[in-house]
Amino acid sequence: MDKNALSPTDIAGGVDDHLLKTVGVAPAQATPTELMQAVAQVAREQLSRRWVATQARERNEQARRVYYLSMEFLIGRTLGNALAALDLGEGATAAAQQHAQKLEDVADREPDAALGNGGLGRLAACFLDSMATLGLPSFGYGIRYEYGMFAQDIQNGCQVEYPDPWLANGTPWEFPRSGVSYPVRFGGWVEHHGDKALWRNAAEVAAKAHDMVIPGHGTNKVSTLRLWKAVAPAHIDLHAFNTGDYARAAGVKNEYENISWVLYPNDSTPAGRELRLRQEYFFVAASVQDILGRHLEEHGTLANLADKVAMHLNDTHPAIAVAELMRVLCDEHGMAWATAWGITQRVFSYTNHTLMPEALETWPVALMQHVLPRHLEIIFRINQDFLDFAAKFRPGDMGFLARLSLIDESGERRVRMANLSIVGSHKVNGVSALHSDLLVKTIFADFAALWPDRFTNMTNGVTPRRWLAQANPGLAGLLDRTLGAKWRLDLDQLQALRDQRGNAAFREEFMAIKRANKARLAEHIARTTGIAVDPASLFDVQVKRIHEYKRQLLNLLHVVSRYQAILAHPNAGWVPRTVIFAGKAASSYAMAKNIIRLIHDVGQVVNRDPRVAGLLKVVFIPNYGVSVAEVIMPGADLSEQISTAGTEASGTGNMKLALNGALTIGTDDGANIEIRQNVGDDNIFIFGLKTPEVVSLRAAGYQPMRYYESNPQLKQVLDAIAGGAFSPEEPGRYRGLVDSLLWGGDHYLLLADYGTYVETQLRVDALYRQSGEWASRAIANVAGMGAFSSDRTIREYAQQIWGMTPAP
């Protein structure tokens, strides 16, 4: 494929060369970390070649490009993926062997690039992988956070957060582009001279580009992730510096550079913090300058911008780009407002990732006036034009206009970033069929009435390279032997596995691989929690951010029920289970942190009770992230996707788990519905209220107490938790948590779904006892997951939203 492909000898030689010259150690004495750095350098050189070639080609072709604007890219580790994409895996394995090391241990030394919170950030990383693989001319744009997602430690059962200094030892993967730097301005005021607006800013910071090269698989093409670092302008507070007041000079420098210091956690409610707004504008302003600069270099005019540039908004976090592009086109390039607006709407598209109204991003008008005075003016003008148009659609309907307005006028005036994104885009999408349907029926119904064709669906996907080939080499090997290697680039080929469901030898091999993956996961659990779990037990897995709507607490109610039921009926032939949780709680989200603590407290009691030994274990794996997920996904038997129907936009962990042969127990929510359609009703456990039933139950006046009073099993569970059975040293510890269910309205309807959930878990047991049947259904899950490759998702975006045709 690659005429520059390196032989194993070249690779081993390159590694030794880099150990000596780049890392600075004697090759014979290299530690695993040093070896990791040297192997990375060998890959880096090849990436660099591909980057230069790709850029030259796209420039020559004057290609249309897509720019994916995202505050988050949850990349994880790069080495394993880069070696696979560059076809250097075997050579690197051999090179490591020459140093008496295993490549797996070497790769383990790389820190995760955790520049994201969860699903949205990881989706952006999967999309980059697919854009590169499909050869789509593309850039990701984001922030080079000095500190990524916090590291989670558990102390006495409680989450403790530590900073994530992922750059402390440098990273071999970035290319600092010293020549690519743009000024980004903040604050001040606006002067109007005739019809000209002049923004007199108060402050300015430099945005410096740091690129990560994203290799495509099965192609020499790459994509670029360009991350911006904030750097104080050189002249900053020269006076303090010259008078020897270094502390003050450093303080001023920090005030500028803190913009790219740390990733904001996804709080239960979005924080209205000024620094977050500065972050959003900072990376948008730098990206827009970079994009327009490249366009002008290649085309010499902005008139054809929309023919050559697509900019995608990953949620509303970069929505200020709509106002920024208008500002640059009108104020800096003298374009007429209407012309600029036509271009802007053709350039932008927007993905929404949440239905929950309280999670929609808004900024106080007063804050925006202070930080971005010119942008606020532009937003007001966009709003005026828009409301004039909308008023003709439903004359006299003031409620309609108030809901559509870019400004929320109830209470403290706020800018609605979702409204700005919709008005400024030609396409708006949700991330699963149900979610996209609910968007136009609920939070965006008024916009859908105006512009029905603007709204569409793009069901999420995950990259099979990381989430199957890399994470699960055992299963990947079996697939290669059965189907050939092409499934990596054409995941629909997994369909052929359906024929293997009845093949006893195949089943046996498939389950042997699952057992080995479970043994590996059990080792990870032992190492990180000190708890010994039995790989022969059913591994029941719920891994995701801790959120009330995701209902980790419902899972735990089942665990406690099962514990009590085993005690009551010890000889009922229980299927041994290990219930595995992992996930981070936002630092300010008290209820989420309390749920983590309860999981630990239940574990403390259950795991030490000899009466349930061998039948039930509860573990919480600390510091969930991409690399931990790569160990968990392949080792799961059962995937818990139990959000209240209508709350989980899509989910992507559900896809990773099913792709690795876990059966799903889940609600009729997000992408679970499409997973069911693709794997078949018999191969998934769907339970609980459906979205319309959730709506009508709430409308009828949901009374959680009724379920408590009528279900003795549920009553026993809640009484035990509330009474301190799992916190004997502080019996009242979970009174408040239980009260929030019984008296606080149980907003996410745990008690309403509890009964069917527990029943369904018994059906899971029954199937697991028939190991051949279970294997057949697990295989059916893998076979049905072709549709959930992010390659399919990106093809849809390219064709239906970005106006691009990827190579077939």
Q: Pick from 102, 108, 787, 53: which is nearest to 457 by CA? A: 787
Nearer to ligand 26Q, 148 or 704 (CB): 148
- Under a CB-based contact definition with an 8 Å cutoff, are residues 347 and 325 in contact? yes
* Residue 142 to residues 190, 209, 214, Cα–Cα distance (Å): 28, 10, 14
Q: How many Cα atoms within 13 Å fall on the side-chain side of residue 512?
A: 9
Active site residue 353: yes
* Residue 5: count of CB within 10 angstroms of its CB: 12
Please provide the distance, in angstroms rounded to a whole number, between the alpha carbons at the two ends of the chain.
Answer: 17
Nearer to ligand 26Q, 315 or 753 (CB): 315
- Under a CB-based contact definition with an 8 Å cutoff, are residues 757 and 687 in contact? yes
Active site residue 375: no
User: CA angle, 431 as apex, 425 and 435 as ends, to 5°?
Assistant: 100
Tokens 């439903």 identify what position?
Answer: 394
* Residue 317: count of CB within 10 angstroms of its CB: 25
Nearer to ligand 26Q, 8 or 272 (CB): 272
Active site residue 617: no
Task: Tell which positions 423-442 bind ligand 26Q, by CB under 6 A.
Answer: 431
748 binds ligand 26Q (CB under 6 A): no
Minimal distance, residue 120 CB to ligand 26Q, in Å = 3
* Residue 88: count of CB within 10 angstroms of its CB: 23
* Residue 134 to residues 190, 490, 802, Cα–Cα distance (Å): 44, 11, 14
Binding marks (x or -) toward ligand 26Q, 357..396, rule CB under 6 A?
Answer: ----x-----------------------------------
Of 91, 270, 646, 784, which lies in the binding site for ligand 26Q, with binding defined by CB under 6 A?
270
Distance (Å, whole) CA 177 – CA 464: 31
User: Could you tell me which residues are beta bridge partners of residue 538?
Assistant: 577
**Catalytic residue, candidates 77, 221, 454, 544:** 544
User: Could you tell me which residues are beta bridge partners of residue 407?
Assistant: 415
Residue span binding ligand 26Q (CB under 6 A) among the ranges 191-199, 353-361, 592-600, 749-757 = 353-361
Of 46, 457, 472, 652, which lies in the binding site for ligand 26Q, with binding defined by CB under 6 A?
652
Long-range contacts of 230-235 (CB under 8 A, 24+ apart): 230/184, 230/205, 230/206, 230/256, 230/257, 230/258, 230/259, 230/260, 230/282, 231/181, 231/205, 231/206, 231/207, 231/256, 231/257, 232/205, 232/206, 232/256, 232/257, 233/183, 233/204, 233/205, 233/206
159 binds ligand 26Q (CB under 6 A): no
Distance (Å, whole) CA 656 – CA 646: 21
- Under a CB-based contact definition with an 8 Å cutoff, are residues 650 and 409 in contact? no
Task: Tell which positions 577-616 bind ligand 26Q, by CB under 6 A.
Answer: none
Distance (Å, whole) CA 560 – CA 552: 13
461 binds ligand 26Q (CB under 6 A): no
Nearer to ligand 26Q, 137 or 270 (CB): 270
Minimal distance, residue 523 CB to ligand 26Q, in Å = 29
**Residues 6 or more apart from 477 whose CB is under 8 A from it?**
none
Residue span binding ligand 26Q (CB under 6 A) among the ranges 13-21, 268-276, 487-495, 684-692 = 268-276
Minimal distance, residue 432 CB to ligand 26Q, in Å = 8
Residue 86 is given by DSSP the state T
Residue span binding ligand 26Q (CB under 6 A) among the ranges 393-401, 412-420, 613-621, 645-653 = 645-653
Residue type, position 711, single letter: N
**Catalytic residue, candidates 353, 374, 577, 676:** 353
Kindly compute the dihedral angle of the four CA atoms of residues 362, 365, 371, 377, in this order, to the nearest 10 degrees.
110
Nearer to ligand 26Q, 117 or 470 (CB): 117
**Catalytic residue, candidates 514, 545, 593, 676:** 545
651 binds ligand 26Q (CB under 6 A): yes
650 binds ligand 26Q (CB under 6 A): yes
Q: Which two tokens stand for residue 573?
A: 């032939």
460 binds ligand 26Q (CB under 6 A): yes
Active site residue 569: no
Active site residue 171: no
Distance (Å, whole) CA 708 – CA 747: 15
Q: How many residues bind ligand 26Q (CB under 6 A)?
A: 22
276 binds ligand 26Q (CB under 6 A): yes
Nearer to ligand 26Q, 283 or 734 (CB): 283
625 binds ligand 26Q (CB under 6 A): no
* Residue 68: count of CB within 10 angstroms of its CB: 26
Q: Which two tokens stand for residue 525?
A: 């659990």
Residue span binding ligand 26Q (CB under 6 A) among the ranges 329-337, 405-413, 649-657, 728-736 = 649-657
Residue 61 CB burial class (10 angstroms; 0-12, 13-18, ≥19): exposed
Minimal distance, residue 430 CB to ligand 26Q, in Å = 9
Nearer to ligand 26Q, 74 or 305 (CB): 74
**Catalytic residue, candidates 78, 652, 667, 793:** 652
Nearer to ligand 26Q, 135 or 670 (CB): 670
Task: Tell which positions 180-239 bind ligand 26Q, by CB under 6 A.
Answer: none
80 binds ligand 26Q (CB under 6 A): no
DSSP for 525-538, written as a single string? HHHHH-----TTSE
761 binds ligand 26Q (CB under 6 A): no
266 binds ligand 26Q (CB under 6 A): yes
Q: 585 φ, ψ to 5°?
A: -105, 135
Active site residue 545: yes
Minimal distance, residue 503 CB to ligand 26Q, in Å = 34
Distance (Å, whole) CA 629 – CA 653: 9
Minimal distance, residue 271 CB to ligand 26Q, in Å = 5
Nearer to ligand 26Q, 14 or 464 (CB): 464
Nearer to ligand 26Q, 352 or 623 (CB): 352
Binding marks (x or -) toward ligand 26Q, 84..123, rule CB under 6 A?
Answer: ---------------------------------xxxx--x
Minimal distance, residue 690 CB to ligand 26Q, in Å = 17
**Catalytic residue, candidates 77, 514, 550, 551:** 550
**Catalytic residue, candidates 77, 208, 374, 656:** 656
Distance (Å, whole) CA 730 – CA 35: 49
782 binds ligand 26Q (CB under 6 A): no
Nearer to ligand 26Q, 120 or 741 (CB): 120
Q: Pick from 592, 581, 487, 628: which is nearest to 74 by CA? A: 628
Of 11, 582, 649, 684, which lies in the binding site for ligand 26Q, with binding defined by CB under 6 A?
649
Q: Is 454 helix (H, G, I), strand (E, B) or coil?
A: helix
Minimal distance, residue 518 CB to ligand 26Q, in Å = 26
648 binds ligand 26Q (CB under 6 A): yes
Minimal distance, residue 263 CB to ligand 26Q, in Å = 9
Distance (Å, whole) CA 158 – CA 600: 8
Q: Which two tokens stand for residue 476?
A: 């990947």
Of 461, 646, 670, 786, which lies in the binding site for ligand 26Q, with binding defined by CB under 6 A?
670
* Residue 146: count of CB within 10 angstroms of its CB: 19
- Under a CB-based contact definition with an 8 Å cutoff, are residues 157 and 597 in contact? yes
- Under a CB-based contact definition with an 8 Å cutoff, are residues 703 and 751 in contact? no
User: Could you tell me which residues are beta bridge partners of residue 210?
Assistant: 176, 227
Binding residues for ligand 26Q, rule: CB under 6 A, are 117-120, 123, 264, 266-267, 270-271, 276, 353-354, 361, 431, 460, 648-652, 670
Report the catalytic residues: 353, 544-545, 550, 652, 656
